[in-house]
Amino acid sequence: MDLSCFKAYDLRGSVPEQLNPALAERIGRAYVEITGAKKVIVGYDIRLSSQEITEALSSGLMAAGADVFDIGLCGTEYVYFATSHYGMDGGIMVTASHNPKNHNGMKMVGPESRPISSDNGLNDIRDRVREPFSDAPVQGRYEALEVTSAYIDHLLGYIDASALAPIKIVVNAGNGGAGLVIDQLEKHLPFEFIKVHHQPDGNFPNGVPNPILEENREATANAVIEHGAAMGIAWDGDYDRCFFFDENGRFIEGYYIVGLLADQFLRKTGPGNVIHDPRLIWNTQDLVKAAGGEAIESKTGHAFIKQRMRDEDAVYGGEMSAHHYFRDFAYCDSGMIPWLLLAERLCQSGKPFSSLIDARIEAYPASGEINRTINDPAKVIAAIEEKYSHGAKSVSYVDGLSIEFDNWRFNLRMSNTEPVVRLNVESRADIPLMKEKTEELLAEMEQLNG
């Protein structure tokens, strides 16, 4: 039995080779036996295979004795919300997010929408799938559950409706599921939405929705400029990540969005803890401190961020990869809350989006994440550490290698899945220094790679 679709944090694979209804049914049975869940939320994205896989998954869950609450076509955050909001024992979202259109997968959570990954049950579910099953003495029941009303009310609770103005916003769902939520929110907001690739379509006629790829940004940027919009937003397929464009159509690096959201959120909540990843940190630390909060580093990855947020009772957590987490959203990531907060900020400030970002880029210019294929990543990182740690202000291993000097710092980390090293460099108000050190490190890595 091919179980290669099981990854570190979720399931992903081609359909039907790696993931198919027969396997989905067994996964449902194994999920119940390993977790002991009696009430499980299921939802699915717009991919052509999603509904069939969800039906098979639900059949397995019920055969193992669990009641299934089907919330239908939705985004991943719907499952997070419903599992927590309705006090369920767990939830499973059928999605492959931004992967190729012939792929599918699953994201699993337990009570309170706590993530299920390879270090807390996912491998056990995988191993149980291999073994024979027998039906539970009492079969679970099926119920369709309407979640949208409660979910929309929750989203609107993050913003002050009286502070909003009729600004123009470009929204690009990439033919994923985000457009369905925008249509619901539109009824309650004064914004004029310019809708690009809006209709859900699992054929992905405009390409797989993945705005982190530069070639996928043009449609949003052009629409912002053409319509004179205040900002643009684009999502991946299951809209747990959102990406931003300013009024000039410029794509904004996720690093600067983390700082802006931390600042906006702390303005609302008062002093609190904010979790961030270690790749680029100075801008976030500066804004959080100025807002009376405390910035805390966590290893990159949603399971690590969510657990650290619980440990620290953090109000917000952000990764530069465009995942944003909120305490009142069961510590889970949302692709809808961030843009609502930033739209509110634009309305409150009366300033263009670019003016909120430009000063931060000047204060803490950054390289953005640069990936290089390396034959022996561990050897190269060790050699870089040996060369640069002498005279450094600090050396950290929270996630990979971070070395800090007075006016610049870098983070170098290995990919978990491929022979790739990821580099991020930033400086204090010195763009030439940031560029110089970036080129220097890349040249050093190339030389060490031989």
Catalytic residue set: 97
Beta bridge partners of 93: 43, 107
Strand order in the sheet with 192-196: 192-196, 168-172, 231-235, 242-245, 251-252
* Cα–Cα distance measured from residue 307 to residue 120, given in angstroms and rounded to the nearest whole number: 12
Q: 3-class SS at 269?
A: helix
For tokens 């009824």, name the residue: 187
| Amino acid in the structure at residue 302 | H
The b-or-e profile of 48-61 (16+ CB within 10 A means b, else e) is: ebbbbbbbbbbbbb
Contact by Cβ (8 Å): 232, 343 = no
Q: Could you tell me which of 311, 278, 309 has the C-alpha nearest to residue 399?
A: 278
What tokens were used for 125? 């579910």
With left for phi above 0 and alpha for psi between -120 and 50, is residue 305 left, alpha or beta?
Answer: alpha
Pairing state between β 370-373 and 394-396: unpaired
Q: How far, in Å, are 80, 161, 297, 316 from residue 311 at the CA level? A: 19, 32, 12, 13
* Cα–Cα distance measured from residue 361 to residue 306, given in angstroms and rounded to the nearest whole number: 27
How many residues can be counted in the chain? 450
CA 141, distance to chain mean position in Å, is 32
- Give kind and range of the element (H or E) at residue 371: strand 370-373
